[in-house]
């Protein structure tokens, strides 16, 4: 498998980090050069000063795309796990990061709220926080992702197998 950018998008607690980490571990064990850029980690280190306005969210994603571009041009498969809530910025990074695979990690909001390990949905519902994607900030689902993982209907293993099947079947330049 040649280097490409594999971008996981979806609501908080949909399963992006879990799936991306499993994919990372699988590819690394198979001998691939691979890096994982997790949205939460990037926010703590590279985008620490950014807030959660639309402009700040887009700037955060541009920074992630810049790092992904540097890695990919050096033969590294880059896995990104970031909410990336808006169509326009996802299309912008797609155009910049070819070859690009978009994976929509799809779980209904109610399921994501049940899985809410960070308590973000609860804090938003209780009025302690604003700007939560899916509650008071929109999430625009991808129109035509290469892969859709329904983590409310599939096991994590089934989702991973779907991703691996796609990656092995598709040449990286398609």
- Here the CATH number for the domain that contains residue 161 is 3.40.50.300
Please say whether the beta carbons of 20 and 35 come within 8 A: no
Task: Kindly state whether residue 103 falls inside one of the protein's structural domains.
Answer: yes
Residue ranges making up the domain that contains 129: 5-169
Q: Cβ–Cβ contacts within 10 Å for residue 109, how many?
A: 16
Instruction: Give pLDDT tens digits for 66-75.
Output: 999 999 999 9
With respect to residue 60, please indicate whether it lies within any of the assigned structural domains.
yes
- DSSP summary character for residue 15: S
Q: What is the pTM of this model?
A: 0.94
Question: How many other CB atoms sit within 10 Å of the CB of residue 154?
Answer: 17
Domain count, the chain: 1
Q: Would 138 be classed as within a structural domain?
A: yes
Residue 174 counted as domain residue: no
Residue 20 falls inside a structural domain: yes
For residue 1, what pLDDT is reported?
A: 55
- The confidence score (pLDDT) of residue 152 equals 97
Summarize pLDDT for 87-98 with one digit per residue, the tens.
Answer: 999 999 999 998
Residue 81's pLDDT band, with cuts at 50, 70 and 90, is very high
Distance of alpha carbon 140 from alpha carbon 160, whole angstroms:
23
């Amino acid at each position: 498998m040649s280097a490409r950018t594999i971008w996981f998008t979806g609501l908080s607690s949909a399963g992006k980090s879990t799936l991306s980490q499993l994919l990372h571990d699988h590819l690394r064990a198979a001998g691939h050069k691979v890096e994982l850029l997790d949205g939460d980690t990037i926010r703590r280190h590279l985008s620490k000063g950014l807030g959660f306005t639309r402009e700040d969210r887009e700037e955060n994603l541009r920074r992630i795309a810049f790092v992904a571009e540097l890695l990919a041009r050096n033969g590294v498969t880059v896995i990104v796990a970031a909410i990336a809530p808006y169509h326009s910025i996802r299309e912008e990074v797609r155009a910049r990061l070819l070859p690009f695979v978009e994976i929509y990690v799809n779980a209904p909001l109610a399921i994501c709220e049940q899985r809410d390990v960070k308590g973000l949905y609860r804090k938003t519902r209780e009025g302690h926080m604003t700007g939560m994607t899916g509650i008071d900030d929109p999430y625009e689902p991808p129109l035509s992702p290469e892969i859709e993982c329904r983590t409310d209907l599939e096991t994590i293993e089934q989702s991973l197998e779907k991703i691996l099947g796609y990656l092995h079947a598709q040449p990286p330049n398609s």
